[in-house]
Amino acid sequence: MNLLIYHGKDELLEDLAEFILKIGNDAIEESGRFNFVLTGGSSPKTLYQQLSTKYKDQLDWEKVFFFFGDERNVSATDKDYNGLMAAESLLQPLGIKDDHIFYVNTSLSPVEAAAAYQTAINLHFNGAQPSFDLILLGMGDDAHTASLFPDTEILESSEVGVKAVFVEKLNTYRISMTAGLINNATNIAFLVFGKSKADAVKNVIESEEENTTLYPAQLIRPENGHVTWFLDQEAAALLNT
């Protein structure tokens, strides 16, 4: 695990963009395509805007396939739909073709949407174990990541796939990649900034006892992949490192 701590958000986002472009160019050189999983939430918005403007000439975006680590159980036109924020800040400005974007179909029930998403991913990987080149993750102040929330059933899943999960504290369903599917990735990058995340960062990275029920982001520990944390000083304030 690699911890990168930045004084300011600008420097963090610049390095994270370069990190994404390096992985993307290497993946395209090696396999002709870049399978890239986006995170939802508010943290990545500026990053996406920069990728689609400042960095738009630094990757062959036509060879990138975009996925989502999780999605809210809302309509695709709802402001809370992760796919909408990504479309507006990244995908539409880059002119990404529809067949290169895997949105979660929330017009289906959560269980059907999760099953359909998993099928689409499996087809994309031609039935081989799905292994994404890069998965971008955020983290909530309760140490959830994707929609792996504390005390939810999905945390117990050993599946390598996508599941619907009822999140009691939000009183709503989410559709999320399981920890098993996320951990199959070659590269995973957490994007976490702000003092509200400091406790969660401390508990996930440095807590004495492992407690994945309480701190689900602890589940993200790929056997073969690499995890890099992009943190600002506020989010990293309680770390000893």
Closest contact distance (angstroms) between CB of 160 and ligand 6PG is 19
Q: Which two tokens stand for residue 142?
A: 């309760």
Shortest Å distance, C-beta 141 to ligand 6PG? 8
**Would you say 28 or 230 has its CB closer to ligand 6PG?**
230
**Does residue 140 bind ligand 6PG (CB under 6 A)?**
yes
Q: Which residue is nearest to ligand 6PG (CB)?
A: 138
21 half-sphere exposure, CB direction, 13 A CA radius? 18
Q: Which amino acid is at 194?
A: G
When asked if residue 150 is in the footprint of ligand 6PG (CB under 6 A), the reply is no
Q: Count residues contacting ligand 6PG (CB under 6 A)?
A: 15
Instruction: Compose the 110-129 pattern: x for residues touching ligand 6PG by CB under 6 A, - for all others.
Output: --------------------
Restricting to residues 2-61, name those near ligand 6PG by CB under 6 A. Answer: 39-43
Residue 145 binding ligand 6PG, by CB under 6 A = yes
CB closer to ligand 6PG out of 28 and 190: 190
Nearest residue (CB) to ligand 6PG, 35 versus 73: 73
Q: Does 216 bind ligand 6PG (CB under 6 A)?
A: no
**What is the rounded CA–CA span in Å between residue 122 and residue 101?**
15
Binding to ligand 6PG by CB under 6 A, coded x per residue (else -) over 59-88, reads ----------xx-x---------x------
Binding site for ligand 6PG (CB under 6 A): 39-43, 69-70, 72, 82, 138-140, 144-146
